[in-house]
């Protein structure tokens, strides 16, 4: 869905980031994904693959022994994997594996707050998906989890990127929307001839995320969600923009102006209309998200 000028930027970005490798999705996760996509998945093979990666196995066991499954205790890893897969379904099972892989990757560099920001936005997106019924909570979670995944890649590539990483992860500021200051995409373009949205898009394609999720990442700093013609993509874009805002109520952002709901709703009118919500709904949501 990328526009002509974005295609040029994507091609240019591919060259720029050639020297820094976007981390590939772990081979084991890709193999599990392909097995889950089979008409008749081979459960034993899935269990063997999960058991072949200590952190993936540990995470599935943690989920299996969470309160969600009551007092059940599993005497074999195979049984635990089988139960989690049967109870949560293939999409959520796969999301747990991808989430664990990204978390492991995030732990390898020093970028304060990246994973916690991604996780909070992902949970908020899943909450909004459940509340509105517009898209599945699994795809919404993925959009939230990966939306800023270009940031750590650029931190590794450019020494001076860390100085603007926080702006890249945050809300689109009102001053950018009113034209008083340059947008983060403009700043990144001037400094690095690429931006975290394009790099994140390339990352998402490499990890085999859906086209909707990849396109949402590419435009996640655009408040004009009409740029998306596909309905699912537009739904996700609206949820992601609102989640970036709701997330401010969790993050210790020392700026109350960022939390002005009326102002946010005015600048994000297309999101408000698309989700059919008003300022009071947003106030209620920010409390509900905290408990989700």
Task: Give 168 or 213: the residue with its C-beta nearer to Fe ion.
Answer: 168
**Residue from the set 120, 169, 246, 265 that interacts with Fe ion by CB under 5 A:** 169
Backbone region of residue 20 per phi and psi (left: phi > 0; alpha: psi in -120 to 50; beta: other values): beta
Smallest separation, CB 57 to Fe ion (Å) = 30
Q: Minimum CB separation from Fe ion for residue 66, in Å?
A: 27
DSSP state of 112: T
Print the binding letters for residues 52-91 with Fe ion: x by CB under 5 A, - otherwise: ----------------------------------------
Residues with Cβ within 8 Å of residue 161, at least 6 apart in sequence: 154, 155, 191, 192
Q: Where are the alpha helices (DSSP H) in 52-161?
A: 54-64, 77-106, 114-132, 137-146, 150-157
Cβ nearer to Fe ion, comparing 59 with 168: 168
CB of 289 to Fe ion, least distance (A): 15
Quick one: 26 or 152, whose CB is closer to Fe ion?
152
Q: Is 148 in the site for Fe ion (CB under 5 A)?
A: yes
Q: Which CB, 56 or 145, lies closer to Fe ion?
A: 145
Residue count at the site for Fe ion (CB under 5 A)?
A: 3
Alpha-carbon distance values, 2 to 153, 196, 212, 288 (Å): 21, 15, 11, 34
Nearer to Fe ion, 2 or 253 (CB): 253
Cβ pair 143, 200 in contact under 8 A: no
Stretch near Fe ion under the rule CB under 5 A, chosen from 37-45, 129-137, 168-176, 268-276 = 168-176
CA–CA gap between residue 68 and residue 92 (Å, rounded): 14
In 3D space, the residue among 138, 182, 174, 200 whose CA is nearest the CA of residue 268 turns out to be 174
Using CB under 5 A, list all residues that contact Fe ion.
148, 168-169
């Amino acid at each position: 869905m990328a526009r002509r000028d974005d295609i040029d930027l994507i091609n240019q970005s591919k060259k720029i980031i050639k020297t820094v490798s976007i981390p590939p999705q772990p081979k084991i996760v890709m193999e599990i994904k392909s097995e889950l996509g089979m008409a008749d998945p081979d459960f034993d093979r899935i269990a063997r693959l999960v058991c072949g990666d200590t952190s993936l196995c540990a995470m599935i066991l943690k989920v299996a022994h969470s309160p969600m499954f009551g007092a059940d205790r599993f005497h074999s890893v195979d049984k635990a994997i089988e139960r989690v897969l049967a109870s949560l379904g293939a999409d959520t099972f796969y999301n747990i594996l991808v989430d664990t892989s990204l978390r492991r990757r995030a732990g390898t560099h020093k970028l304060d707050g990246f994973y916690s920001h991604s996780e909070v936005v992902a949970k908020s997106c899943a909450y909004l998906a459940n509340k509105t019924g517009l898209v599945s909570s699994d795809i919404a979670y993925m959009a939230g989890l990966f939306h800023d995944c270009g940031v750590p890649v650029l931190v590794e590539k450019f020494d001076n990127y860390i100085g603007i990483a926080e702006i890249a992860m945050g809300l689109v500021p009102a001053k950018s929307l009113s034209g008083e200051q340059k947008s983060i995409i403009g700043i990144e373009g001037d400094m690095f001839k690429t931006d975290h949205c394009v790099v994140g898009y390339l990352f998402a394609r490499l990890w085999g995320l859906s086209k909707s999720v990849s396109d949402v990442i590419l435009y996640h700093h655009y408040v004009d969600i009409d740029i998306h013609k596909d309905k699912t993509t537009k739904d996700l874009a609206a949820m992601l923009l609102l989640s970036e805002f709701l997330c401010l109520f969790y993050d210790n952002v020392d700026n109350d102006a960022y939390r002005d709901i009326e102002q946010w709703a005015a600048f994000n009118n297309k999101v408000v209309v698309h989700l059919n919500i008003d300022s009071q709904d947003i106030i209620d949501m920010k409390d509900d998200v905290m408990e989700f």
